[in-house]
Amino acid sequence: MIEIIIYSLLAGICIFIGGIIGRLCEKCCKHKIESYILRWSTAFGGGILIAAVAFVLTPKGIENFSIIYFSIIFLSGAIVFFFLDKLIESQGGLLAQTLAMLLDFIPEAIALGATFVHNHNLGILLALFIGLQNLPESFNAYFDLRKSNHPPKNILILFFTLSFLGIFCALIGKYLLSGQIRITNGIMLFSAGGILYLIFQDIAPSSKLKKHWEPALGATIGFLIGMIGTKLFG
């Protein structure tokens, strides 16, 4: 249990670190440089999210559910976040990256707790992978929230609090879901559907920068990291 708490905290604290990096970038970088870095980070985070959908969140669900069931669960996630995204937009919010970060973090933290029970080394690698995802995602989420005029101090307090959410989710995975494979896989499939919707509705379009083509390479690098993580898991 102590190991699960330590590794889930290390993975979660990357949310706070990414927010701090975003704040430093906001204070120190000129607007054009900041905008360029943000586009790179957005594309990079999107690539990692796609890798998470492809390699972490969907494979076991496809394996353990029939076509009808995994299709319903996956589409349900997309539909729920379609309406949630519309609700946020109608209220003037720009929280797509924050939602994507939590969608990714919560089910993977649950999986982390359940995985430690059966495969210690895989649990450690999964914690490292989650941490690498949280860094660019929280960096982007910081600017996402700043566009909604949230004060920097409040954002960093929120991110610091969310850093401990992984411990709670990992312990749920260990004590409640380690033997409930179908429920865990269902949560992952639902989240994957929501993430994929948010990537193409909000995240990918915002990574484009006029007269610059190279930020899109960040998505390729992010996906490559996901491939490397999957290779290590194997």
Q: What does pLDDT average to over the chain? A: 82
- Strand positions, DSSP E, the chain: none
Of 48, 8, 53, which is closest to residue 132 (Cα–Cα)?
A: 48
Of 145, 164, 162, 130, which is closest to residue 49 (Cα–Cα)?
A: 130
pTM of the model: 0.80
Using CA atoms, how far apart are residues 103 and 86, in angstroms rounded to an integer? 17
Cβ neighbours of residue 221 under 8 Å, at least 6 residues apart?
44, 47
Least confident of 128-137, 207-216, 217-226: 207-216
Give buried/exposed letters for 98-111 (b at 16+ CB in 10 A, else e): bbbbbbbbbbbbbb
- How large is the average pLDDT for residues 196-208? 78
Using CA atoms, how far apart are residues 26 and 97, in angstroms rounded to an integer? 17
pLDDT tens by residue, 118-164: 777 777 777 887 888 888 888 888 887 887 778 899 999 999 999 99
Domain boundaries along the sequence of the chain: 2-233
Q: Is 37 left (phi over 0), alpha (psi -120 to 50) or beta?
A: alpha
